[in-house]
Structure 1
Amino acid sequence: MKQHLRPAFALLITALPFLAPAQTLKDGKLTLNPDGSHYVKFTLFNQVWARYNQSNPGTLVNGYAKPNTFDIGIRRFRIQFFGQLTDRVFVYSQIGINNFAYDSPPKTGFFLHDAVGEYAVVKKHLSLGAGLGAWNGLSRLTASSVGSIMGIDLPLVAETTNDVNDQFGRKLSLYAKGKLGQLDYRVALSDPLLVANAPINTFATFSGRPAKAQYQGYFMYQFRDQESNLTAYNAGTYLGQKNVLNVGAGFIVQPEAMWYRQAGSPDTLTQAMKQVAVDLFYDAPLDTAKGAASISFYALAMHLDYGPGYLRYTGPMNPANGIGAKAASTQVPGAGNTFGNAVPLFGTGNVLYGQLGYKFRENLLGSTTFMPYVSYQYASYKRLADDLHYIDAGVNWLLNGQGSKLTVSYQNRPVYSLHADGTNRADARRSAMVVQYQVFFN
């Protein structure tokens, strides 16, 4: 051993007997002090989809017509590493991948989801933090804990700027969070990412100019059991392990976020993006007996103002990559890619979303049980002549709670086309069947 390393090695050997009693490893958590209040924790999470999808009209895969598709893909994979380093210092990080399927570039790499650090100014009541994270405003499931969502997917409409001027719903922010009695709050000042593709049309799109700051907040009154706000992510269901009744309200505002031009004018007009929401979450056992059946309910109402005529399509892990010329001429213009499984989930207008699930008693089938669910999104967007109705219904087979779960889902969505009178109407509907297996080491 080199001479200059020997003193350090000897010091480490001397210190080990004193460090060992404080350090234990259990369920991915390494304690750093005797009472376990200081720790670091590691988690793994994976969701795999197998799916049959009825394609939107004109859908192409590498130039070939595909009226339907079957695919297998990784919907989400996550690695979390976080910890309470001192009585006041907390750090949270997450890396992962989304939507890796047969049409993804080979060797697609992980990307950074979260990297925040925070300091508890007044323990439990006020913590200040900074970094890339999901301490967003607007609604409960705008920052959803994907490992505990009840259905096959979270309500994507709640992530209103996803991958436009943020990183998969995460934002570069300064934030404050805490609890004041039964009120849980979060507020943030965010620095939006530059918008790469920003055409100017007669309908609003996100501006390509350097962005102004985004202001956001969410306030939740917890009538019954208190939920943890250790991380930004809110549970989708507790599977009857808590008795929760919350009412929340939130907002997101960004000045001059949108731009557009009026017909026949070369002048560029700007407008703020303004979004407000109210929601209700109820999740509770139906009996006091251990392992009893439980119910989970969530309702969300949103007013989204992106400016005149804004509309955006999205297709979760879209199994296609093109559209034929004839079909393209009849699609809603300037709203993104309409092929595959895409649906216009985002727009200027009003949204109602609800989900309801019933978990049967524990040990219904051996050591497992089932939780059927249904979710529904209604939207009245100003650019669509017909209102949007999107349905997802299915059943979870809880093999080991959320740690090992098999979900079968049926989804039904509208297909819009541009008519001769200039209106966008829902002329047809398409469906998909999805089977998901989830593993969550938490």
Structure 2
Amino acid sequence: MFMRFMFIQKLFTAGAVTMLAATLHTAAQETPKKPELLKDGKIWLNEDGSNYFKFTLVSQVWIRNTDMNPGSTINGYEKKNFTDIGIRRARMQAFGQIADRVFIYTQFGMNNFNYSSDRKAGFFIHDITGEYEVAKQKLSLGTGLTAWNGLVRFAAPSVGSIMGLDAPLFEQTTNDVTDQFLRKLSVYAKGKLGKLDYRVVLSSPMNPLKANGYSPAIGPNSSFSPMPPKMQTHGYLQWQFLDQEANTTAYATGTYLGTKRVLNIGAGFQYQPDAMWHSPAAGDTVTTAMKHFAADIYYDAPLNKQTGTALNAYAALIHFNHGPGYLRNQATMNPATGTNNTTLINGSGNGYPSFGTGNLLYLQVGYKFKNNLIGTSTLMPYASLQHAAYERLDKAMNYWDAGVNWLLKGHTSKLTFSYQNRPVYNQQGAGDATLTTHKGSYVLQYQVFLN
């Protein structure tokens, strides 16, 4: 009797285990494991991946030797030439389609950290934007601190895919005066209507009194007014003839390295009433609108798909109207801390009059050699020219940059060597500033980009 009971117990146990294993096997077949990651690094929030979240990270470090503008000083000591190392950009993006029709985007990081920067400078928020898709692809509405800007393509450049050393920063017309490194507090509408890609933006200008180096003093030459600002409207339209570019985020690709065939023609504007002021005579205050208009063309395509050669070209024609006599210098990660030359228009270090009232032509071109030119890497030389006829300058302002990218692994890992040449202007008494000489900088940048 006992032996029969033990036999029945073993039989029941074995059957239960077999049934359990079969049940689990069937359940595994009927309920496939939900994937968590796509090949491009998106975290899936639903089964088909239409809702997702993604992180990116980019680091750009410069090693630079600069011929300083005449009279430049470092901690009170005059320097004619200086070598430094700096972090041009360190950025992290976090964004995604977190629900049907709902998109969120944020970016934080830092810019221009070198030997003279404040220590322990924390990352700050560059962007934080929420967006709702009203009509699929055709219309999305968004708001926040955002880089959705008008006027031209590289008013919001994708820094990880810049073709050369840096973006054409003058296309960011109010950079860090009434915005935060091009980002504005805005509401925007964007979308695609067939091959027409559009954006229209309404922005609340930031207080210029918070801008580095801003002076509220009024004079004969136009400057940003500290009066309570009126809203700024701007927009950009482009017709995309060949491959369609994504408009998921505001940032425009520098070069696709021949992976797409893109030909776009665009036009844009930027307008703010009473944004500027000047005093043509003692006791008079005249306010003027800021009015900019532009057209540009962008081409990026493979020349030979089998070998991987490619061509990138971009041209922009811009009419800037900041009011009479407006000039503003650009001094990227300025290596100087001061100047003892009061007649120099350029200011200290590597500054030059990049922004102004007048007309500007910008050209850039690059050629990507065949894949595996040097082992598994290749080269992409490039050149660019900023040619501007600005008021208060006796001769056209020509700033050029030429160099070569060593694409160790596309934009993921690349080394860029560049020579930048800038004009130097002196102001002696009344009349236009006089072009007196040119100065240059040699820059080596290493970029790592997790995308």
What TM bracket, shorter-length normalisation? Answer: over 0.9
Match status 1:188 vs 2:201: yes
Match status 1:227 vs 2:236: no
Secondary structure of 1:85's counterpart equals strand
After superposition, residues 270-419 of structure 1 pair within 5 angstroms as 270-289=287-306, 291-324=307-340, 327-328=341-342, 330-332=343-345, 338-419=347-428
1:108 match: 121
Q: What is the CA–CA distance in structure 1 between the aligned matches of 2:434 and 2:37, rounded to whole Å?
A: 61
| Residues 344-389 of structure 1: CA deviation (Å, up to 9, x unaligned) | 0000000000000000011111110000000000000011111100
| Residues 130-165 of structure 1: CA deviation (Å, up to 9, x unaligned) | 001110000000110011010100011101100000
> Once the 2 structures are TM-superposed, how far is the Cα of residue 331 of structure 1 from its aligned partner?
1.9
Select which of 43, 54, 72 maps to 2:85.
Answer: 72
> Once the 2 structures are TM-superposed, how far is the Cα of residue 267 of structure 1 from its aligned partner?
2.2
Q: What is the CA–CA distance in structure 1 between the aligned matches of 2:208 and 2:36, rounded to whole Å?
A: 46
Of structures 1 and 2, the larger Rg is shown by 2
Cα-Cα RMSD:
1.4
Secondary structure of 1:399's counterpart equals strand
1:175 match: 188
> Once the 2 structures are TM-superposed, how far is the Cα of residue 422 of structure 1 from its aligned partner?
3.0
1:216 match: 234
Select which of 176, 179, 182 maps to 1:163.
Answer: 176
Q: Give the residue type in structure 2 aligned to 1:82.
A: F
Q: What is the CA–CA distance in structure 1 between the aligned matches of 2:90 and 2:31, rounded to whole Å?
A: 37
1:237 match: 255
Aligned residues: 417
Q: Give the residue type in structure 2 aligned to 1:90.
A: F
Q: What is the CA–CA distance in structure 2 between the aligned matches of 1:203 and 1:20, rounded to whole Å?
A: 67
Q: Is residue 22–residue 33 contact of structure 1 (8 Å, CA) maintained in 2?
A: no
Q: Give the residue type in structure 2 aligned to 1:153.
A: D
Q: Give the residue type in structure 2 aligned to 1:342.
A: G
Q: Give the residue type in structure 2 aligned to 1:285.
A: P
Q: Give the residue type in structure 2 aligned to 1:302.
A: I
Secondary structure of 1:157's counterpart equals helix
- Structure 1 range deviating more: 382-391 or 164-173: 382-391
1:260 match: 278
> Once the 2 structures are TM-superposed, how far is the Cα of residue 232 of structure 1 from its aligned partner?
0.1
* Gap runs ≥5 in structure 1: 1-16
1:207 match: 225
> Once the 2 structures are TM-superposed, how far is the Cα of residue 31 of structure 1 from its aligned partner?
0.6
Q: Give the residue type in structure 2 aligned to 1:348.
A: T
Q: What is the CA–CA distance in structure 2 between the aligned matches of 1:22 and 1:365, rounded to whole Å?
A: 37
Q: Give the residue type in structure 2 aligned to 1:301.
A: L
Q: Give the residue type in structure 1 aligned to 2:234.
A: Q
Secondary structure of 1:150's counterpart equals coil
1:3 match: none
Secondary structure of 2:409's counterpart equals coil
* Gap runs ≥5 in structure 2: 1-29
Q: Give the residue type in structure 1 aligned to 2:78.
A: A
Q: What is the CA–CA distance in structure 2 between the aligned matches of 1:86 and 1:25, rounded to whole Å?
A: 17
Q: Is residue 368–residue 380 contact of structure 2 (8 Å, CA) maintained in 1?
A: yes
Q: What is the CA–CA distance in structure 1 between the aligned matches of 2:350 and 2:195, rounded to whole Å?
A: 41
> Once the 2 structures are TM-superposed, how far is the Cα of residue 287 of structure 1 from its aligned partner?
2.1
TM-score normalized by structure 2? Answer: 0.91
Q: What is the CA–CA distance in structure 2 between the aligned matches of 1:420 and 1:276, rounded to whole Å?
A: 32
> Once the 2 structures are TM-superposed, how far is the Cα of residue 22 of structure 1 from its aligned partner?
4.9
% identical equivalent positions: 56
Q: What is the CA–CA distance in structure 2 between the aligned matches of 1:223 and 1:203, rounded to whole Å?
A: 42
Secondary structure of 1:147's counterpart equals helix
Q: What is the CA–CA distance in structure 1 between the aligned matches of 2:228 and 2:90, rounded to whole Å?
A: 32
2:154 match: 141
TM-score normalized by structure 1? Answer: 0.92
> Once the 2 structures are TM-superposed, how far is the Cα of residue 251 of structure 1 from its aligned partner?
0.5
1:4 match: none
Q: Give the residue type in structure 1 aligned to 2:318.
A: M
Q: Is residue 392–residue 431 contact of structure 2 (8 Å, CA) maintained in 1?
A: no
Q: What is the CA–CA distance in structure 1 between the aligned matches of 2:121 and 2:111, rounded to whole Å?
A: 10
Q: What is the CA–CA distance in structure 1 between the aligned matches of 2:321 and 2:426, rounded to whole Å?
A: 23
